[in-house]
Structure 1
Amino acid sequence: MNPRAVVVSGSGRYADPWHPFADTSARIAGVLRGAGFEVEIDERVDARLADVGECELLVVNVGFPDPADEAADAATRAGLLAYLATGRPLLVSHVSSTSFPAMPEWEGVLGGVWVRGTTFHPEYGPSHVEVVDGRHPITAGVADFELLDERYTALRVSPDVHVLAQHTLDGVAHPLLWTHGYGTARVVYDALGHDAASYESPEHRQLLGRAALWLVAPGSTP
């Protein structure tokens, strides 16, 4: 039986004017299906995260929740933590590093976050991605590559993450793809994926598909 993935896609209060979540979630789902997953896309962000249900992989592709909703925020936090407590893996995309302000554990789950007033990105456009670890199963054999995207810069990143890819700005390296562990759960964060153009990159698609397979592989460790 193929592993089952749920892609939770930004809509409602988790949507914003800058990120076409329906398009990017469809692209993520296509990559996962190509890697052998059965995929469900769910735009009921709070409801699904409060009760993830049966799946082998949870994918989060959402924005900052506006407006706040105390009851929904509490249920979402509880559901995400309950999912992770089962040891099941999490794949997190792009602007989701700004999400869940009512979940103080989110930074520890992800291994890094967008910090308002500090984190930024250069203008959207051609972006050079440097592969850092050429031996990890996700990045093995993948050379540095170019794609159209945003390059997140000055994220607050834990020293405990395993950086797989980065970009360099003014001589300073900034992680873009990493693995992390939260309890027994494996986590991958992919800072790329601003819009559908990002997934036109064969290298990005390859990394994403490999990340999903690595996350569900028995015995994988960050």
Structure 2
Amino acid sequence: MAVADVVILSGAGRYADPWHPFAETSDALAGLASDAGLTVRVADDPDAALAVLDDGVRIVVVNAGDPEGRPPASAERVVEAAAALDRALQRGIGILAMHAAAASLRDYPAYERAVGARWVRDVSWHPPIGETRVHLVGDHAVAEGLVDFTVFDERYTGLRLLGTIEPIAEHEQDGTRHPLVWARESGRSRLVYDALGHDDRSYESAGHRELVTRALGWLAEATSASR
């Protein structure tokens, strides 16, 4: 069986929660990746999928929730998955982390370092879900040629930043701009974090779909260059 270009780690099992319809949003993300010419596999067991991550996988999409308080994966599985993720980051891989991914994969320090931020309970927050304006900022390749757009979504705010980020988009709340989408690079690997994507209404926005598509393209370019 051919190796998929993109593996989507979808929130199920200990990565499910009552708020996010991960199956629907993972399906929307799979459609965008497929439309971009990438082959896709959706995995409902993120730990197991990481543990067998093939060297041919170009992009890992994390679309999963917070496992805190849930029964843990086996210690052996976590060790296997952590080692596979470390190898992938060293060889060069793209990571697209969506929305609740800021609170996910807590057993994997390399993932947290790659994202450069964490959702912190009782500190991080979001305004009520609704229509909002997304402001493109900076001169990153993902944002090149894109314009501000509206989307119906939650906007994660007050994440704990753990490193330097290259901003791509912001949102405004109570007169203050907050980072919403950013990029990071480490060695041969690249990451885009997108705080949008609460439910499938987010992907009804043409602007958001284009942003995600551009992010996938930028991530795929890096993995092509590393081979």
Q: Determine if the TM-score, normalized by the shorter chain, exceeds 0.5.
A: yes
Determine the C-alpha separation between the residues in 1 that align with 2:57 and 2:118.
25
The code of the aligned residue for 2:134 comes to V
The code of the aligned residue for 1:199 comes to Y
- Partner residue of 2:153? 149
The code of the aligned residue for 1:38 comes to T
* 8 Å contact kept, 1:84–1:185: yes
Determine the C-alpha separation between the residues in 1 that align with 2:28 and 2:47.
22
1:20-35 pair list within 5 angstroms: 20-35=21-36
The code of the aligned residue for 1:120 comes to W
What residue ranges of structure 2 are gaps of 5+ in the alignment? none
Identity percentage of aligned residues: 41
Aligned length: 219
- Partner residue of 2:219? 215
Q: Within the alignment, does 1:120 sit opposite 2:125 as a pair?
A: yes
Higher helix share: 2
- What SS class does the counterpart of residue 80 from structure 1 fall into? helix
The superposition leaves residues 69-112 of structure 1 with CA deviations (integer Å, 9 ceiling, x where unpaired) of: 35143333333222212111111111011012223333321011
What residue ranges of structure 1 are gaps of 5+ in the alignment? none
**TM-score of the superposition, structure 1-length normalised?**
0.91
Determine the C-alpha separation between the residues in 2 that align with 1:172 and 1:70.
43
1:80-119 pair list within 5 angstroms: 80-119=85-124
Determine the C-alpha separation between the residues in 2 that align with 1:121 and 1:89.
27
Instruction: Give, in angstroms, the shift of residue 42 of structure 1.
Output: 1.3
* 8 Å contact kept, 1:73–1:100: no
1:23-62 pair list within 5 angstroms: 23-53=24-54, 54-62=56-64
Q: Within the alignment, does 1:199 sit opposite 2:203 as a pair?
A: yes
- Partner residue of 2:187? 183
- Partner residue of 1:19? 20
**TM-score of the superposition, structure 2-length normalised?**
0.89
